Amino acid sequence: MLKKLRIIPALVVSLLLGATANSAIARDTQYMLPISEVLTGPEQGKFADVKFYFGKAATPQYLQKLGEVVGNKKTNALNKGDEEACRWVAASVLIEMAERAKSLGGNAVVNIRSFYKKNEHWDNGLYECHAGATVAGVTLKGDVVKLP
């Protein structure tokens, strides 16, 4: 009888943890946030040597198109608000895109659009971020070019 009494609390705890985990994992809140906050934020020095042009914004005449780049990052969102986590991960994506652009011989990325789950969203001033209970993610896609 004592053995059965120990099993019941363990079973209840397992069921509660499972239900909580499923609801936490299921959250996927979409945000459309201003890219200007990322471009002027504390991480800007890590990608400042590459120019970024979002959406269908006018771009300077470029010398050469060097390829396409996709930046896809996730970040730990624990102990951060959703928007803070989104800004952080967007900066990480820009750093990744800048490094790729430089490795291709470029100094700018144009036609940048959100590409979350391969769904393109063009916007000159906003980027798409998805936040869950523990993770936030941003995917951006653009064309690497060489400006004069």
> By residue range, what is the domain housing residue 36?
28-146
Average pLDDT over residues 100-114: 98
* Contact (CB, 8 A) for 113 and 122: yes
pLDDT in tens, 6-53: 555 544 444 444 444 454 457 999 999 999 999 999 999 999 999 999
CB of 66 closer than 8 Å to CB of 144: yes
Structure confidence by residue, pLDDT tens digits, 56-96: 989 999 999 999 999 999 999 998 999 999 999 999 999 99
3-state SS assignment for residue 28: coil
> b vs e for 32-67, b when ≥16 Cβ sit within 10 Å of the residue's Cβ?
ebebeebbeeebeeebeebbbbbbeeeeeebeeebe
Q: Tell me which H or E stretch contains 90.
A: helix 82-103
Q: Which CATH number is 98's domain given?
A: 3.30.110.70
Does 147 score more than 90 pLDDT?
Answer: yes
- The answer to whether residue 113 scores a pLDDT higher than 70 is yes
Residue 14 inside a domain? The answer is: no
Identify the pLDDT of residue 1: 54
For the chain, what is the domain count? 1
The confidence score (pLDDT) of residue 3 equals 56
85 within some domain: yes
Bridge partners (DSSP) of residue 125 are none
